[in-house]
Amino acid sequence: MTMLEKPRVAYVLKVYPRFSQTFIVNEILAHQAASQAVDLFSLRRPNDGRFHQKLSQVTSPVHYLDQVPHASDEFLQQIHQTAESCPIVWDVLRDEPQATTVELYQAARLATAIRQQGIQHLHAHFGNTAAEVARLAAKIAEVSYSFTAHARDIFHETVNQAALERRVQEATRIVTVSQFNMDYLQTRFAPHASRMSLVYNGLNLDEFAYSPTMTRSPIILAVGRLIQKKGFATLIDACAKLIQQGHSQLQCHIIGSGPLENELRLRIHRHGLESQIRLLGALPSEEVQARLRQAALLAAPCEVAEDGDRDGLPTVLLEAMALGTPCVSTAVTGIPEVVFHGQTGLLTPPQDANALAVAMRSLLQDANLAKQVSQNARRLMETSFDIHTNTNQLRELFREAATSLAGAQS
């Protein structure tokens, strides 16, 4: 096997590890299981002391590019060092006036490491700063690069569309995690549509054994950051309606932390339901999984936030569906690609507490419906969301990218 048939790959991430991004750890571990060497480069160090147990299984080396230059001589020293192996760095400096000093500095450090370690392809998660540094470093080191677009990095109102277009234009491959995103990107950047691929985030299904719904506790579980796009305000109102309608034993547990915590606590207080609707804070993935196994259903009432932010395809939905926990969600972005109403779960309109309450009551009261959607959901996970199959698609894209660049350079 030649090097280009199995190129050495590096991932470029804004922050690694990040507590909320278990899908990245899952992806890295799947590459590792397939004997694909993956080096990790992080632009920043984590400032959160919480870590998932799975991180201990990652053997890939992690390199931090966080030494921001405070003086011009430090920046120039790095550029001169990079120029020893990548003389094209001077051309990149001249041709990239919009790049920040920090981005150029980190890209130069990354390019130097690429040459030293024989890395042939860079892949960034999210089309933001990580993709920009990967783009610049790939240009300097003359290797291929790709990135995975998720949601916030393409839909949020703060996205620099001109910068995103540069990243799309220069990427050898662009990956995204839902057909909704794919349709948007192929329309928005039509000249580059042929280099775009849909690869769903997957799960290691060996870790998510299916369990029946018949013995579940009357707990509605929700998981995610406490931010508007998760729709937890709507969930609280819907649960209040169910309790008022006679579901006195109902519990709602919301796992996650975030800026809306005080606002959500006040909403719970106004309903007088502090004993039944609880904010549990952020929990490790192992405990989230254990609670998913116990819950009667998962509620993911996602919505489009006022700033345009939205979910791509929440990983917790996939985890619940794999475990056999019935799901209620909304028709936002890629969610209808997995939650088929009445088949693999139930869908309601965003920000509609009445409809959400009706859907949750249906699953709580109709055991046959809950059983049927959970079985169908598990089958869907097995056919379309196995991480070993999906990361194999990624590795093929990496190989094609490295090969196509080598062919263009020869």
- Measured CA to CA, the distance from residue 338 to residue 343 in angstroms comes to 10
- Measured CA to CA, the distance from residue 38 to residue 17 in angstroms comes to 15
Residue 196 CB contacts under 8 Å (≥ 6 apart), including other chains: 173, 174, 175, 176, 182, 185, 186, 189
Q: For the chain, what is the total number of helices (H) and then of strands (E)?
A: 15, 13
pLDDT of res. 68: 73
Question: Of how many residues is the chain composed?
Answer: 410
pLDDT of res. 71: 73
Helix (H, G, I), strand (E, B) or coil at 173: strand
Contact (Cβ atoms closer than 8 angstroms) between residue 290 and residue 178 = no
10-residue averages of pLDDT along the chain (410 residues): 73 90 92 94 84 82 83 88 97 95 95 96 97 98 97 93 97 96 97 97 94 88 97 98 94 97 98 97 92 96 94 93 98 95 98 98 96 97 96 96 72
How far are the Cα atoms of 254, 301, 395 from residue 223, in angstroms, in the given order?
6, 10, 30
Q: Look up the CATH architecture of domain 3-202+387-409.
A: 3-Layer(aba) Sandwich (3.40)
> Do 205-384 and 3-202+387-409 have the same topology in CATH?
yes
Q: What are phi and psi of 24, to 5 degrees?
A: -70, -45
DSSP class of 142: T
Domain ranges of the chain: 3-202+387-409, 205-384
Contact (Cβ atoms closer than 8 angstroms) between residue 230 and residue 256 = yes
DSSP class of 227: S
- Measured CA to CA, the distance from residue 318 to residue 329 in angstroms comes to 12
pLDDT of res. 3: 52
Contact (Cβ atoms closer than 8 angstroms) between residue 28 and residue 60 = yes
List the alpha helices (DSSP H) in 205-345. Answer: 232-244, 261-271, 285-294, 315-323
Contact (Cβ atoms closer than 8 angstroms) between residue 104 and residue 82 = no
| The two three-digit tokens of residue 362, written as one number | 């249906």
Query: Identity (one letter) of the amino acid at 40?
Result: L
pLDDT of res. 1: 39
How far are the Cα atoms of 25, 110, 152, 330 from residue 230, in angstroms, in the given order?
22, 35, 13, 10
pLDDT of res. 4: 61
Distance from the Cα of residue 347 to its chain's centroid: 21
Contact (Cβ atoms closer than 8 angstroms) between residue 310 and residue 302 = yes
* Bridge partner residues of 338 (DSSP): none
pTM of the model: 0.90
Helix (H, G, I), strand (E, B) or coil at 144: strand
Q: Which CATH class is domain 205-384?
A: alpha beta
- Measured CA to CA, the distance from residue 7 to residue 4 in angstroms comes to 5
- Measured CA to CA, the distance from residue 196 to residue 182 in angstroms comes to 7
List the alpha helices (DSSP H) in 118-178. Answer: 129-141, 152-155, 161-170
